[in-house]
Structure 1
Amino acid sequence: MSTSGTGQSTVPFTVPSFAGEVSDAVVKVLDSGWVTTGPETAAFEQDFADHLGASHVVAVASCTTALELCLRAMDLPPGSAVLTPSLTFCGAINAILHAGHRPVLVDIDAGTLVPSPATVAAAAARVAPAAMVVQNQGGYPVDVPALTEAAGLDRTRVVEDAAHGPGAERGGRPVGSTSYAACFSFYATKNMPIGEGGAVATTDRDLADRIRATRLHGMSKDSWRRYLPGGSWRYDVKDVGLKANMTDIQATIGRAQLAALPGWQLRRAELVARYDELLDGLPGLVVPQRDLDGVRHAWHLYQVRVPDRDGVIAELDAAGVATSVHFIPASHLTAYRAVLGADECASVPVTDRVAEELLSLPLYPGLSEDGQDRVAAALAGALRARG
């Protein structure tokens, strides 16, 4: 997947990896006669829960719907203030708005690119928050308990956006293992790509049961349970839900991908260490936050900060290297500026400054050393020309 202008990149920004068993697994599901939510989805949920060490996992259509379903399950008053970083994907802001609430922006720490307890406390001081969405930007695992305390919230009012989280750990525990609500993405660019799909990991059975129902219109029984031997066509709708279920075709791909994930994470770590060596000492370059005690980065992204970011992107593109930017802050986007207002959009100065410098370099398990050398050489040339 190339995000640069030529579309003819020698080094793409990302190429999804697929385990060798995927094709056979999909054919098996197709031959079974059941392709929507059913036994493979349930098996994937258990496999992913075991991998994380989580009590419950519910598979859904996307991370965006996972965030919305979690916020809806809180039964907050309409229009409640929900803290969120401005440096996030637009889907996370949409989830807050679609759940009927009001985003309140939180600034970031320039090193980690995620909110700190100080920036969360500053945002909470402007408005009494009812809930918070926190994000593992690029794969850096946030300290959820510390941010929860800084916001003055109970843990049941915090949703963890772990779209970049598979493979990350904090305190020796995988992201999502102890969360009230952690939302994962299996989009094509993610560390564990299915193509589309998401999941909620939770320690709370009631939350899991509610999301399991609301992911499919709020129906008390899905099709699989209605059509099992001895099942009944009768069902109830107790909560108004969404059409947000995962299919068995997606789930069987996910099961194969999950088995390959540890090896892919090792390869990502090797590539990151090699980037660190290749890029050391380049003028004007700020590399990603290093791993700290008790923190394992998932390395979904290798985000650097550079001067004249758009000019550097153009030079890399001309050299056949595709790049991307994560993300355009919510406060810079037209629809959200209209909702948030000028004062709210002006409340995240560090985000505004850092966002103009961010550049994501190619990073994926299939990236060759030759390809990585090309990335480093092109970036070095662009930066030295500006040094």
Structure 2
Amino acid sequence: MSHDAGKQNGRDVDRPSGDRVPFAVPSFADGVAERVTETLTSGWVTTGPQVAEFERDFAAYLGAETVVAVASCTAALELCLRALDLPPGSPVLTPSLTFCGAVNAILHAGLRPVLVDVDEDTLVPSEATVAEAAARTRPLAMVTQNQAGYPVDVPALARAAGLDRNRVVEDAAHGPGAARDGRSAGADSHAACFSFYATKNMPIGEGGAVATTDPDLADRVRSTRLHGMSKDSWKRYLPGGSWRYDVRNVGLKANMTDIQATIGRAQLAALPGWQDERAELVRRYDEALAGLPGLVLPQRNLDGVTHAWHLYQVRIPDRDAVIAELTEAGVGTSVHFIPISHMTEYRGLLGPDECGAVPVTDRVAEELLSLPLFPGLTGAQQDRVVSLLTGALRRRTALAG
């Protein structure tokens, strides 16, 4: 949820650009436009050879066995949940502190969300909160989430839920660049779903992918992303190919195009450098904001963990008023996320008891604030963010005293 409403691409049209600090600006690798032009003139722009190359490149980056590229992370989640072939209405554990699209994927797959609370420090579900949610029902699957880029311990959470790993779908939308015990997030997953949305660590604009160790799941997702057809257009029209195809399951229109994949291949090469920039920006935030009255820095157990730092989330009092003050000063911010339990539609679907089962989420959600964090954020811009936030919080501390 961006708080740059009323601005053009995050730009306050009445404010000098030097004073403005956008929440996020997508980065693009050198030469990406020329590579897109090559694809545009190649004669093939939909799912084809570039998608196949991107899948191989991204799998190599993750250290994963197989990657299937799709239209979005939301589509990836739904395709993976459908591939589990669970009975309609089966309970699926999910954090309440998540993006609405992740819960919509559960519902579109014909399943029932069961809300899981988060650990106050890491902002992701813990073994204890997963076990508590599992005790309220008998879950048949679980969707985990790498909130802000923190890679969760999937095997531990699966054990806490009483589930096999092949019943866990990982929402790794914030995951590129994250690792646990030396393995990239999603590398050893039955189903890990990635996002390449405009604000993500590896932006394409739109797009997603599924990483999996299961060749049957890969085949199912590959087919279901294109209506359930047994062969895509590229395979049908290759030399020696046949126009005949079958439909083996009812699928979606959720394929990635060669244009997107061309951008993705260039972006992937630039990702390690961008991750280094993010880590340095996080270090500067940590140093500048430490000890600020009323502010809680991002807390994380980094033993064996490489954080992707998709977001830099702090917790502050009087959050909404501080957002308004920063916005007025030309600083873009965001909130991740408005909990599912607070949304009108889900409250009606899930009921008050279910929505009332996540007290930590309810409390911390009113304090969360995501600060600008993107490659290319200058030291001067970051200093402006820190100065304005520091001033806003110190004024409130003085008034409270």
Instruction: Give the alignment's TM-score, normalised by structure 1.
Output: 0.99
User: Which of 240, 243, 249 matches 2:253?
Assistant: 243
User: Which of 289, 294, 298 matches 1:284?
Assistant: 294
Q: Within the alignment, does 1:179 sit opposite 2:179 as a pair?
A: no
Q: Which residue of 2 aligns with 1:16?
A: 26
How big is the shift at 1:291?
Answer: 4.9
User: Which of 202, 205, 213 matches 2:223?
Assistant: 213
Q: Rate the CA distance shift 1:6–1:317 in 2: closer, same or farther, 3 A.
A: farther
Q: Which residue of 1 aligns with 2:71?
A: 61
Identity percentage of aligned residues: 77
User: Which of 140, 154, 159 matches 2:164?
Assistant: 154
* Partner SS state of residue 285, structure 2: helix
Q: Distance in 1 between matches of 2:4 and 2:327?
A: 6
Q: Which residue of 1 aligns with 2:133?
A: 123
How big is the shift at 1:6?
Answer: 5.6
User: Which of 194, 198, 206 matches 1:188?
Assistant: 198
Q: Which residue of 2 aligns with 1:4?
A: 4
User: Which of 157, 167, 172 matches 2:177?
Assistant: 167
Q: Which residue of 2 aligns with 1:319?
A: 329
Letter in 2 for 1:260: A
Q: Which residue of 2 aligns with 1:376?
A: 386
Preserved CA contact (<8 Å) 1:6 1:317: no
Letter in 1 for 2:169: V
User: Which of 92, 97, 100 matches 1:87?
Assistant: 97
Q: Within the alignment, does 1:29 sit opposite 2:39 as a pair?
A: yes
Q: Distance in 1 between matches of 2:347 and 2:186?
A: 31
Q: Distance in 2 between matches of 1:195 and 1:318?
A: 28
Q: Within the alignment, does 1:112 sit opposite 2:112 as a pair?
A: no
Q: Which residue of 2 aligns with 1:297?
A: 307
* Partner SS state of residue 264, structure 1: helix
What whole-Å deviation, never above 9, does each CA across 1:159-205 have from its counterpart, x for those lacking one? 00000000000011100100110000000000000000000000111
Preserved CA contact (<8 Å) 1:2 1:12: no
Equivalenced residues, count: 387
How big is the shift at 1:304?
Answer: 0.3
Preserved CA contact (<8 Å) 1:2 1:14: no
Q: Which piece of structure 1 moves more, 353-362 or 291-300?
A: 291-300
Instruction: Give the alignment's TM-score, normalised by structure 2.
Output: 0.95
Letter in 2 for 1:97: L
Q: Which residue of 2 aligns with 1:228?
A: 238
What whole-Å deviation, never above 9, does each CA across 1:334-354 have from its counterpart, x for those lacking one? 111111000000000000000
* Partner SS state of residue 365, structure 1: coil
Q: Rate the CA distance shift 1:226–1:113 in 2: closer, same or farther, 3 A.
A: same
Q: Which residue of 2 aligns with 1:260?
A: 270
How big is the shift at 1:230?
Answer: 1.1
How big is the shift at 1:3?
Answer: 2.5
Preserved CA contact (<8 Å) 1:62 1:196: yes
Structure 1: 5+ residue runs without aligned partners? none
How big is the shift at 1:5?
Answer: 4.6
Q: Distance in 2 between matches of 1:291 and 1:253?
A: 34
Q: Distance in 2 between matches of 1:292 and 1:333?
A: 32
Q: Distance in 2 between matches of 1:55 and 1:88?
A: 27
Preserved CA contact (<8 Å) 1:5 1:317: no
Q: Which piece of structure 1 moves more, 290-299 or 27-36?
A: 290-299
Question: What does 1:293-372 align with in structure 2 at a 5 Å threshold?
Answer: 293-372=303-382
Preserved CA contact (<8 Å) 1:87 1:328: yes
